[in-house]
Amino acid sequence: MSKTQKPLAGVKVVELGTLIAGPFCSRIMAEFGAEVVKVEAPDGGDPLRKWRKLYEGTSLWWYVQARNKKSVTANLKHPQGREFVRKLIAEADILVENFRPGVLEKLGLGWEQLKADNPGLVMVRLSGFGQSGPYKDQPGFGAVGESMGGLRYVTGFPDRPPVRTGISIGDSIAALWGAIGALMALRHREVNGGAGQVVDVALYEAVFAMMESLVPEFDVFGFVRERTGNIMPGITPSNTHTTRDGKHVTIGANGDAIFRRFMHAIGRADLADDSGLADNAGRDAWRDEIYALIDEWCGAHDESEVLATLAAAEVPSSRVYSAVDMFADPQFIARAMIESATLPDGRAFRMPGIVPKLSDTPGSTEWVGPTLGAHTDEVLAAQGYDAAAIAELRAAGAV
């Protein structure tokens, strides 16, 4: 258990979320000291508990996504369950929810009702298309947000259909914006004497905000960014190449001085000193030829030789890491990015470390994702329910 005071100590968060976007948003807060009470349905809880690889019936992902959170069960379809949750929110600083717009309003837990109970509440609302606009009532998962937000259109190779990135990146980006928005709203409330407010995050907008120069390039030049595979459009050389032993290495030698060092290192001093390749515009005009010669050089050497040569020449490069590489890498280890934890049955396992690294008030893992409803009685008791009242709620199916 960490003894260091964490930056969000004293902040109370209620999570009404499932799967990825909402739970990841509140996970960040929990890692940095917020008291996060995750409200789950009594009949199975968050579906993430059963996603991907299961250990003894529970997702390993769950133990990471719900770390440091308290799990309580409440039936939002039962009036006493809703009353319990409304009391929780009335004492919270932040509510994180990722229901479809209108669902909480139908349950009597909409913004106007909650604000009346708790004027200082910050309500983070994560949804496919936001709380307004013609699409707001449509279902929208991360895949839809990635597609509408522009990411999938530019991901993949030009002669093939768009592809996903390999993880649910749209949900995670939205979660980050949600956490940033929540902290900005807290800052406003606490420093400027403001009231609470709604942080409205649409998944498609969260992705769209990451799309670099896509909008002005289209508006000014009519340019539509297309899929370009592993290269960085307009920036040369930056690509992934295959070595003689079948490994993949990413090389970013697009700085002018870096390119010269790179060419000298691979025995092409003629190109290093070619004035036509001295800047990016000149190199990009000869992009195909440059990539062909890099492919040829990498293909004639094993991965270890390629990386050693590039490191000696101070050319940014890396093997394309799998989990195997991460677990053995000294940088990951030195920065505690692979940390040890314990499953409920006592088995040791490893999970990702905390990001970002704060020098004085770092985040930490205090406990892994809890069993369903593990903290229900504790949280109810803190709300003033005695043992008899808790038993009555449970018998009624409210919790």
Residue 235 carries which DSSP code?
Answer: B
Chain center to CA of 338? 17
Phi first, then psi: give them for residue 70, nearest 5 degrees.
-100, 130
Pairing of strands 12-16, 248-252: unpaired
Is residue 81 within 8 Å of residue 109, measured between CB atoms? no
Question: What is the DSSP code string of 185-217?
Answer: HHHHHHHS----EEEEEEHHHHHHTT-TTHHHH
Whole-number Cα distances in Å, 255 to 160, 233, 265, 313: 30, 14, 15, 13
**Which uninterrupted H or E stretch holds 392?**
helix 387-396
Catalytic, out of 43, 93, 137, 171: 171
159 is catalytic: no
**Which uninterrupted H or E stretch holds 293?**
helix 287-299
**Which uninterrupted H or E stretch holds 259?**
helix 256-265
Whole-number Cα distances in Å, 298 to 50, 228, 241, 258: 42, 20, 7, 17
Task: Tell me how far apart the alpha carbons of residues 113 and 105 are, in angstroms, rounded to a whole number.
Answer: 8
Is residue 94 within 8 Å of residue 169, measured between CB atoms? no
Rg (CA), the chain: 25
Closest CA to 262 of 220, 310, 203, 190: 310
Backbone region of residue 320 per phi and psi (left: phi > 0; alpha: psi in -120 to 50; beta: other values) = beta
Is residue 55 within 8 Å of residue 61, measured between CB atoms? no
Task: Tell me how far apart the alpha carbons of residues 338 and 133 are, in angstroms, rounded to a whole number.
Answer: 42
* Residues β-bridged to residue 2: none
Q: Which residues are identified as catalytic?
A: 171
